[in-house]
Structures are given as C-alpha cells and as structure tokens.
Amino acid sequence: MAFYTNYIPDPFIYKIYEETLNQLNDFFGFKWKENKPKIYVVSNRKTINMLVQEETKRWVVGWPDKKDIFILDRKNYEKESSEPYREVYYKGLIIHELVHSYFSKITKDRYEPMWISEGIARYLAGENNYRKKPKQFSKFLKFYKLRADNEVYHESGHAIKLLVEKYGKNKFVKLIKQLPSVTSKEVFNKLFKKVYGFEANYDNFNRLLNSDSF
C-alpha cells in the first residue's frame, strides 16, 4: 500500500520538538545528533489504521516506530479521536512519543516491560499531572508485554516518577541500558533487583508511594 507524504514546516511542532530533544538529551545522557527522530503527522483514523494494520481504538492518537513517531494531525484531532484537543495535551503527546524514540534507541527497540516504557514516557511528558496520584498501586506490574490497554498509563507514570525522583535518573538509565539482554520477565526481575536493591512488587512500590518525601 502507498501513503502520500508532504514536508510542511510547522513552527508549533518544531518548537516543541527542539525543546524536547534538549530535555531528553539531558535526561538520557547523550546528544542525539545524526539521524534524529522524524515526526509524521497523520490526518485521519483510516490512515492510522492502515499504517498500524489494525482497527485502532479511538484514544490512540500517536505511536512510535523505532526512532520515528506518528501523531494525529491536531486539526482533525477531535473529529478523528475520542480525545479533547488542548495545546498542553498535544505537546504532551509529542513529548511522550519522542521519549519512546530515545527509549528505543537505548534499548535497541525493546519496549518491554511495558510499564517501564510507558511509565517513563508518561512521566517525562508531564502527563502524570492529568490525574491525581494513585493511593495504592495494584495494576501496573501486570503490564509486561505490549498491548493496547489504556489502563497501563496512570499507575506506571507514577511508579516511574518514584523511581526517578527517589533514586535518580542515572539509575533508571542504567536499568534500561541493560534491557537488550533481557529475555523474560524473570530475567528482568533479577536485573531490577540488582539495580535498585529491592524487588519490583506492589509492596515495595506502595512503600515508596507512602514514604514521607512523597
């Protein structure tokens, strides 16, 4: 199948893109100079479905493909999705997908565990601010393998926030740099424990959540 694309300078997107790359270079600790991520703006649901080769849910408004990202055109945002359009959400969407680009570059295109890859995208995009932090964690760890499920985002974003703000970004980057050698959930759990010194389970994350500084 064929897709027609046009290069259109878009100062609104370009500004967010430049700011985000600076922010993410700093967070992930390398300067992305060559073959940088490209943003493809997709005009409607039908084209999204053809690109990803499935009938997508209406809340799907962007996705990564290795280092490149696809986002629904903001002009058709409300018509072609279930999401309300607000500039701050759209900016969050672009940042979120670009975090996946960096993640993919570091992990050699591994996105699992999903709670890690979606959690860091949500946290760095500021999307944790859209909803109150959870009182208890009870769901995010079941998202290891990738699947289209809206439920992964909320708890994962807050779980990653705790990891980054409590233990620093370097430890987090150290963890994800080792994901290419992870072959199963069990191997990941061992790696996590080696890096953080505790097991990735609800008890430990709830303890972090309820500790004084948060």
Where does this chain touch Zn ion (CB under 5 A) — which range of 8-16, 21-29, 118-126, 166-174?
A: 118-126
Of 21 and 121, the one with the shorter C-beta distance to Zn ion is: 121
Where does this chain touch Zn ion (CB under 5 A) — which range of 113-121, 125-133, 144-152, 164-172?
A: 113-121
Can you tell me which of 121, 141, 163, 182 binds Zn ion, judged by CB under 5 A? 121
SS3 135: coil
For the record, the structure tokens of 20 come out as: 């985000």
Taking the complex as a whole, the smallest distance from the CB of residue 121 to Zn ion amounts, in Å, to 5
Taking the complex as a whole, the smallest distance from the CB of residue 96 to Zn ion amounts, in Å, to 6
Of 87 and 149, the one with the shorter C-beta distance to Zn ion is: 149
Taking the complex as a whole, the smallest distance from the CB of residue 152 to Zn ion amounts, in Å, to 9
DSSP-derived letter for residue 39 is E
For the record, the structure tokens of 23 come out as: 């922010």
Of 108 and 190, the one with the shorter C-beta distance to Zn ion is: 108
Distances (CA, A) of 1 to 4, 47, 72, 130: 10, 11, 19, 38
Where does this chain touch Zn ion (CB under 5 A) — which range of 17-25, 35-43, 116-124, 139-147?
A: 116-124
Of 21 and 71, the one with the shorter C-beta distance to Zn ion is: 71
Taking the complex as a whole, the smallest distance from the CB of residue 213 to Zn ion amounts, in Å, to 27
Of 94 and 121, the one with the shorter C-beta distance to Zn ion is: 121
Per rule CB under 5 A, is residue 98 in the interface with Zn ion? no
Task: Give burial (CB, 10 Å; 0-12/13-18/19+) of 95.
Answer: buried
Taking the complex as a whole, the smallest distance from the CB of residue 111 to Zn ion amounts, in Å, to 9
Spacing of C-alpha 53 from chain mean position: 21
Kindly determine how many residues on this chain lie close enough to bind Zn ion according to the rule CB under 5 A. 2
The full DSSP string for 52-94 is HTS---TT--EEEETTEEEEE-GGGHHHHSSSPP-HHHHHHHH
Q: Are 180 and 110 in contact (CB under 8 A)?
A: yes
Q: Are 163 and 123 in contact (CB under 8 A)?
A: no
Of 80 and 118, the one with the shorter C-beta distance to Zn ion is: 118
Burial 179-191 (b: 16+ CB within 10 A, else e): beebeeeeebbeb
Binding positions for Zn ion, rule: CB under 5 A: 118, 121
